[in-house]
Structure 1
Amino acid sequence: MSDLVKKNERKFNLGDFVLDNIVTIIFWVFIILGLALAKSVTFNWFLTELSNRFYRNAFLVLSLIIPVIAGLGLNFGIVVGAIAGQLAIILVRYYYIGGFGGFLLCMLIALPIAMLFGWLTGTLYNKTRGQEMIASLIVGYFGTGIYMFIVLFLIGGVIPVQPDHPIILPGGVGIRMTVDMDTIKYALEGIWQIPFAVFMIVASALVVLYLVWSQYIRKLKPGQARLSNFKFALYAAIAVVILAVFAYQAATKGRLTMVRKVPMGTVIMIVLLAVFTKWIMTTKLGQDFRACGQNQYIAESNGINVDRTRIIATIISTVLAAWGQIIYIQNIGTLNVYTAHNQIGLFSVAAILVGGASVNKATVSQAIMGTLLFHSMFILSPEIGQAVFGQAILGEYFRTFMVYGVIGLSLGLYVWKANKQSKLTLEPRVAENARDQVINSGTTR
């Protein structure tokens, strides 16, 4: 029997399950209690707010997956990717290019800038091997300083601009605090929208069809395994219930039909990135990412250029972050020039950790679930603060606590598990060495 089958047949341990998913469980409990306590929150309003946040943030969270797999840890350095996206937006807005063409031009201009930033960042990560997450935080701060210098002093001071341009400060030097996106706002989302209920019906039906195909029709490749009967039944039941609920709501024109329409342009971008992430892991480059993440020394001994592979992973992540920031800002409609990029790294990292990811493991499903759970907390925190304490500001403080708490708890658990695992693997060797010493001492007497 293969190791994969044995792993699937391993007995379920509740303690290990809770420990492995403690962050996700905490957020589920918080959201359920929040919906129960916040009486003023209607479910259709909650879904509208959650879907808005999901559309604008999911792309950024998905950009973190490849560096994790490649052994770079949680890439807080996606901040420099966001900076590349914002520089592209400023350039496009300066020349009054709007609409969907302006949006595409932003992504095109951001590409070489983000690739350069990614190459520089990846080179730094190779020089700080083993301390990549700390280095990525410093990269974010350093990149912010350079960005501030450019938009505050170089633009207008060294780079000639029209002093009376709407995005330029009255003195003719520097960019204004906020830049209106004009017709770039909703450029992606305005292409095609469908009712939320219809989208959920179609999505649930597709999930059911995929589960049936995957469980009973698909031919397995070596190393693959089907879902257990319990998991298959659970996932299928959830999808069928969702389908039935939204079909009923659509037929009776219930409250859930009032949820904001789904911007299919943004959803397609998110789906394409998810598919790309899955696909690239099946390629030679993806296998190199995985090999570098598991053991760099073995990967190098097998002929893999580890430094080059890590730089490629960083470049991909930085480019995706730049595009994700452009999607984010076109959804908001206004670019906060000096602050929009500041919390991108922390919030995206916290979101993927909430989904169950760790320093060395991340999947598309964890990124999607984490984005939904994390932003559910953001929506409900002020409402719970108002309902329980009569002060919504307490919920704002709780948001900050949860962001840093999630990162701290996840990293602490990772270190604890790593130490525990290393102890388990070292103990048999210690015992074997002690036995050899006893045997050797006996033969020398």
Structure 2
Amino acid sequence: MKGNIKAPQIIITIYLLIMLSFMSKINIPLYSLFNDSLVKFGMNFVLVLSLIPMMKCGVGMNFGMAIGIIAGLIGMCFSIELKLTGIVGFSAALMVTALFGCMFGYIYSKVLNRLKGKEDVIGMFCGYSFVFIMNIVWTVFPFKNRVMLYPIGGKGLRPKISLELYFDKILDNFMKINIGKIIIPAGLLIFVAFITAIMIFYFKTKSGKTMEVIAENEKFAELSGVNINRYRTLAIILSTVIAGIGICVYTQSYGFVQLYDVPLNFAFPAVSAILIGGASRKNTTIIQAIVGTYLFQTTYLLSIPIANAILMPELAETLRMIVSNGIILYAFICEGGEKGLWKKKK
């Protein structure tokens, strides 16, 4: 398809319209869906946005997103340990996240730069390996705040740490706008827009444009005197830091810091969202990230109440998994709006 609207968006939009017709029949108010979809979009968009630097530099999709997410979790744990609350606590978490994200991203880049052409697979293994290493580290971190520790023994961090006393929904509730029954989380959307604006500005600079040239033709860029590994390293660090910021945004909306294996749950949905938006490995835009995130999260949001109303409640989780993984599979098959895995080589 040569237009701006490609097959993934058309099919997912049709699927959404079908589910919306079910919503009207089971008396679920559309304003409630719209309110929840805005929050879900804001929660997840920065994580999807973190994929763009690596994709624009030709490094591939960041299946090692868990590395950046762990940087964000460490940042939030430090903020909770110091008992910082409100905007101060959230800002402190972001600063620590950026510090650890730069360190982790630099190490991660060294691995990917040695194994060019296999970044997706290597990134996935790096993410899994780092999560399992951190599963040990979480149990020995010398934190003292009792809110974070297991109640029995007083050692090791809990799998879920409540943010209720710290910065729970600090962005969601900031500048919240009520228009009748519609609630717009303006603070959350403004923060997301701010991160997006920084990303747009960066890719208009010389450094950002050089990354795009590398993705289009790495050999040409190398012959032009561009230090390929330097820009790849920068892109990987940027993606890692933004992923850390993304999990901070997600967590303040969710209300709990989730440790141990949970960081593994974010890479595939984020990648599938940006692919549904029409992106490909070396060509992606902010608009594609926005469209893909909203379509994916709204589809995900609709599946549970419809399953509960139409099917047995016990089948709701099964249907949710079928829908979620089906979307991910479709996104990979139709990568970039074309039937990627089915496309015959000429």
Q: 2:334 aligns with which of 410, 417, 433?
A: 410
State the 1:306 CA deviation.
0.3
Could you tell me how far apart the structure 2 residues matched to 1:385 and 1:186 are? 28
Could you tell me how far apart the structure 1 residues matched to 2:332 and 2:206 are? 34
State the 1:339 CA deviation.
4.1
Is 1:28 matched up with 2:13?
yes
Could you tell me how far apart the structure 2 residues matched to 1:394 and 1:150 are? 33
Q: For 1:52-131, list aligned pairs within 5 A.
A: 52-131=39-118
State the 1:20 CA deviation.
8.0
Q: 1:168 aligns with which of 132, 149, 157?
A: 149
Alignment check: 8 A CA contact 1:383 1:395 kept: no
CA pair 303-349 structure 1, distance change in 2 beyond 3 A: same
Could you tell me how far apart the structure 2 residues matched to 1:267 and 1:19 are? 25
Q: 1:258 aligns with which of 181, 184, 199?
A: 181
1:282 is aligned with what amino acid? K
Is 1:310 matched up with 2:216?
no
Could you tell me how far apart the structure 2 residues matched to 1:415 and 1:314 are? 26
Q: For 1:329-340, list aligned pairs within 5 A.
A: 329-340=251-262
Which 5+ residue runs of structure 1 have no aligned equivalent? Answer: 1-15, 198-256, 424-445
For residues 362-389 of structure 1, the C-alpha deviation after alignment (integer angstroms, 9 at most, x for no partner) is 1111111111100111111123334554
For residues 26-60 of structure 1, the C-alpha deviation after alignment (integer angstroms, 9 at most, x for no partner) is 21111000011232222111101111101111111
Specify the alignment match of 1:353 in structure 2.
Answer: 275
State the 1:95 CA deviation.
2.1
Is 1:399 matched up with 2:323?
yes
Could you tell me how far apart the structure 2 residues matched to 1:299 and 1:416 are? 31
Could you tell me how far apart the structure 2 residues matched to 1:278 and 1:407 are? 25
Is 1:188 matched up with 2:175?
no
Is 1:144 matched up with 2:67?
no
State the 1:19 CA deviation.
12
For residues 317-376 of structure 1, the C-alpha deviation after alignment (integer angstroms, 9 at most, x for no partner) is 110110111111011111122244221111111111111111121111111111110011
Pick the structure with more helix per residue: 1
CA pair 175-190 structure 1, distance change in 2 beyond 3 A: same
CA pair 399-81 structure 1, distance change in 2 beyond 3 A: same
CA pair 124-414 structure 1, distance change in 2 beyond 3 A: farther
Root-mean-square deviation (CA), in Å?
A: 2.1
Is 1:375 matched up with 2:297?
yes
Could you tell me how far apart the structure 1 residues matched to 2:243 and 2:321 are? 27
Is 1:45 matched up with 2:32?
yes
Could you tell me how far apart the structure 1 residues matched to 2:190 and 2:269 are? 23
State the 1:395 CA deviation.
2.3
Could you tell me how far apart the structure 2 residues matched to 1:344 and 1:147 are? 16
Alignment check: 8 A CA contact 2:160 2:259 kept: yes
Specify the alignment match of 1:11 in structure 2.
Answer: none
Could you tell me how far apart the structure 1 residues matched to 2:93 and 2:341 are? 40
Could you tell me how far apart the structure 1 residues matched to 2:45 and 2:162 are? 23
Could you tell me how far apart the structure 1 residues matched to 2:330 and 2:196 are? 24
Task: Using the aligned pairs only, state the percent identity.
Answer: 26
For the residue of structure 2 that corresponds to 1:285, the secondary structure is: helix
Specify the alignment match of 2:307 in structure 1.
Answer: 385
1:193 is aligned with what amino acid? K
Alignment check: 8 A CA contact 2:108 2:236 kept: yes
Alignment check: 8 A CA contact 1:358 1:414 kept: no
For the residue of structure 1 that corresponds to 2:210, the secondary structure is: helix
CA pair 140-20 structure 1, distance change in 2 beyond 3 A: farther
CA pair 397-54 structure 1, distance change in 2 beyond 3 A: same
Could you tell me how far apart the structure 2 residues matched to 1:378 and 1:352 are? 15
| TM-score of the superposed pair, with normalisation by structure 2 | 0.91
State the 1:303 CA deviation.
0.8
